[in-house]
Amino acid sequence: MDARIPEIDPATALARLRAGALLVDVRAAHERALGMAEGALGAAREALEAEPGAFLPPAGAGVEILLICQSGRRSMLAAQALQARGYRNLASVAGGTTAWAAAGLPMSRPAADADFLDRYSRHLRLPEVGLEGQQRLARMTMLLLGAGGLGSPAALYLAAAGVGALRIVDDDVVERSNLQRQVLHADDRIGVPKVASAEATLRALNPRIRVEAVNARLDSGNVERLLEGVDVVVDGADNFAVRYLLNDACVKLGKPLVYGAVHRFEGQVSVFDAGRARGAKPCYRCLFPEPPAAADAPNCSEAGVLGVLPGLVGLLQATEAIKLALGIGEPLAGRLLHVDALGMRFRETRLAPDPHCAVCAPGTPFPGYIDYVAFCGG
């Protein structure tokens, strides 16, 4: 560090600020959003160093410039850069905003409570999420179909991430055989409706979220009502009849659908977003135009499943749901991710929309809901 640039403690910096010095917080915008020294001007270090005149008086104006960051390192580096640009009356605040807050000096804080800032602090440090993204998550409603093997890990991590409302739909009860993989539930809840068990677990994990427990089976009579007000749909179903019905409703209503499936030691994950991108993204029926007969598609109770596999696939689904909610990254829309747990291999298949799809092809009127239970022979 350049010895000619003094480091001053936060109390001294406050006194000089009140005497007319200019205090500049050089942290990134998402960091400043979590709280700044009161009276500080915000200017990210990179922008300040590139064009100091956009934030500061001219170098010869004689105004004392105090620089502050989180701990004191970036502010000293910024001071050195400004010094090289001709600024002379400079100082860096030792210990940065951390020391300022610890000393009880006045802070300008966001309109968020202490629990929110503490609970989601690791998200808030990510520029891709930050305060704005976390508040966006808190406004989201997601439908989670199924509180079983896939729904359990997905629900746990969506709740922990701070998704505002989880609408969980399942008509089953907890059985002992579920506990090998359905980590939402516990031995003392055997016989309890899964949605009630899920609600208890999720509220204990994060009391800030809203859990709408719907003890019902999804069908053509209630699917649109259950999708009302939903931003993202997570498919944790274990049968083709429900999966096709959910896909068709999501296409009709323009809801992104996060798909997951497991069988023995293998799983699949994708995002079907044809409802919002007709002709550009596929739906589930572009991949599987017609459901198989029930005899050709055994479920977990018949074929078995490695207990940790739904955890892996469900976590991938939760990841995709959060990405969709935040509008970050590259969703799996148009891509099918295959998981081979025995070989621990991941393989990706590109999916194209079917221009002749009966449900999502551009210009195709909605054909109405099919009785998939009868169609599949279930």
CA dist., res. 28 & res. 352, Å (int): 39
Q: Are strands 107-108 and 36-37 parallel, antiparallel or unpaired?
A: antiparallel
pLDDT number for residue 373: 58
CA dist., res. 344 & res. 43, Å (int): 46
Q: What does pTM read for this prediction?
A: 0.87
Q: With beta carbons less than 8 A apart as the criterion, state whether 229 and 141 touch.
A: yes
69 phi/psi in degrees, rounded to 5: -130, -145
pLDDT number for residue 378: 44
pLDDT number for residue 374: 55
3-state DSSP assignment of residue 20:
coil
Structure tokens at 107: 């802070």
Q: Are strands 257-263 and 266-272 parallel, antiparallel or unpaired?
A: antiparallel
pLDDT number for residue 340: 97
Q: With beta carbons less than 8 A apart as the criterion, state whether 140 and 185 touch.
A: no
Residues 6+ apart with CB under 8 A from 257: 233, 235, 246, 247, 250, 271, 272, 273, 283, 284
Second-level CATH architecture of 7-109: 3-Layer(aba) Sandwich (3.40)
Q: Is 300 a catalytic residue?
A: yes
CATH class for the region spanning 140-376: alpha beta
Q: What is the mean pLDDT of each run of 10 residues along the chain (378 residues)?
A: 81 97 96 94 96 93 95 96 94 97 94 91 94 96 97 98 98 97 97 98 97 96 97 94 95 98 96 95 93 60 86 98 98 97 97 95 91 56
pLDDT number for residue 291: 74
3-state DSSP assignment of residue 175:
coil
pLDDT number for residue 1: 44
* DSSP assignment letter at 361: S
270: β partners: 259, 336
What is the residue extent of each domain of the chain?
7-109, 140-376
- Is 7-109's fold the same as 140-376's? no
Catalytic option among 250, 286, 300, 357: 300
